[in-house]
């Protein structure tokens, strides 16, 4: 059994980790930390876990995380970079679900996140945890930077095109929509029911923190820097991301066949038949990205539709997928839940 700990188990990402790991046949959850809720029953806060998880939240300063094989950080940005190095030095493997180790350029990270990085030496050692791109490196990684939700949907949609060099890399457009759970489990006016329901709006148009992460990944795929316009939107959904991606065609190809071949052996990417329109509910609560490829009116712009559950393939599910890879388990272990309909 793999013994795991979770730092910061009270947010939406944390409870998704608990839901998935509680069903994982090869994992034992040893510790869940929360400074504010230390001593309280986990199932009292999250009644969906009642009868499946009999643990209490622990004070992070008292939890014996060094006894774990792996620790997940489901914490706000800035926490893992301060606490993970001590665990790593003690031989514990770490998966960070925040952004502390995703961007390889530390100075750029600081510009976007507004603080100085506390452990820049570990940034160079971290492996970006997008399995479809970095599976081989993830296997031996000590520190995995789990991708963000928007970056997962966007990168999986553009990946086959950039790897094959079939589209112009300078004018990529990602028009993406997310449910309100993407903002986290905190009280903020934009996420209030009366504000988000029956409403739709763009936000962070001048620049979203996920932009440098997406651009970094796409540039790796293309082998050169890319030009990307990324516009996120808030939708009146709890879960789900829908990314509509646009790329100008450079070389003609059978794009449907390209996507089908690229993802043929990927257990968590589903390329839909030509002409399909994936919807967010088809991936709700599942660790799955569904893609569809369109070439409207046979023109020179290709449109890729990409949908994921932002809390699963966009966060906790992908983290468990990375755990499976790191410990040599079948990649689908504990992640075969079907999407929830209706």
User: Which residues are known to be catalytic?
Assistant: 149
* Residue 175, CA atoms < 13 Å, CB-side half-sphere: 8
Helices vs strands, H then E, count in the chain: 11, 14
* Residue whose token pair is 């979203």: 208
Residue 62 dihedral angles phi and psi, to the nearest 5°? -110, -15
**Beta carbons of 321 and 24 less than 8 angstroms apart:** no
For 66, half-sphere exposure in the C-beta direction (CA atoms, 13 angstrom radius) is: 9
Give start and end residues of each alpha helix (H) in the chain: 12-21, 42-45, 80-89, 106-113, 120-123, 131-139, 149-164, 193-196, 210-222, 255-262, 317-326
Q: 224 with 250: CB under 8 angstroms?
A: no
Tokens (6 digits) for 52: 């499946």
Q: What gap in Å lies between CA 218 and CA 172, rounded to an integer?
A: 10
Edge-to-edge order in the sheet of strand 241-248: 201-202, 228-234, 172-178, 241-248, 301-308, 289-294, 269-271
């Amino acid at each position: 059994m793999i013994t795991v700990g979770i730092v910061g188990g009270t947010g939406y990402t944390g409870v998704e980790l608990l839901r998935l790991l509680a069903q994982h046949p090869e994992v034992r959850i040893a510790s869940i930390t929360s400074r504010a809720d230390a001593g309280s029953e986990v199932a009292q806060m999250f009644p969906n876990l009642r009868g499946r998880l009999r643990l209490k939240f622990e004070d992070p300063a008292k939890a014996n995380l060094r006894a774990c094989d792996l620790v997940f950080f489901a914490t706000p940005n800035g926490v893992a970079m301060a606490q993970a190095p001590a665990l790593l030095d003690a031989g514990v493997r770490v998966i960070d679900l925040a952004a502390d180790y995703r961007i390889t350029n530390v100075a750029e990270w600081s510009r976007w996140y507004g603080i100085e990085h506390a452990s820049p030496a570990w940034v160079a050692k971290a492996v970006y945890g997008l399995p479809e791109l970095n599976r081989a490196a993830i296997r031996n990684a000590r520190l995995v930077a789990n991708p963000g939700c928007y970056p997962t949907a966007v990168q999986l949609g553009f990946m086959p095109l950039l790897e094959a060099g079939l589209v112009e890399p300078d004018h990529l457009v990602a028009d993406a929509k997310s449910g309100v759970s993407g903002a986290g489990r905190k009280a903020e006016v934009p996420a209030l029911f009366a504000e988000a329901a029956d409403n739709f709006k763009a936000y962070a148009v001048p620049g979203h923190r996920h932009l440098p992460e997406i651009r970094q990944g796409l540039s790796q795929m293309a082998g050169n820097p890319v030009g990307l316009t990324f516009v996120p939107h808030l939708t009146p959904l709890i879960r789900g991301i829908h990314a509509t991606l646009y790329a100008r065609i450079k070389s003609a190809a059978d794009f449907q066949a390209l996507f089908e071949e690229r993802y043929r052996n990927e257990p968590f990417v589903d390329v839909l038949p030509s002409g399909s329109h994936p919807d967010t509910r088809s991936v709700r609560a599942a660790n799955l990205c569904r893609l569809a490829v369109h070439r409207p009116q046979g023109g020179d712009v290709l449109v890729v539709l990409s949908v994921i559950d932002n809390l699963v393939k966009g966060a906790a599910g992908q983290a468990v997928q990375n755990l499976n890879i790191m410990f040599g388990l079948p990649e689908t272990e504990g992640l075969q839940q079907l999407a929830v309909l209706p």
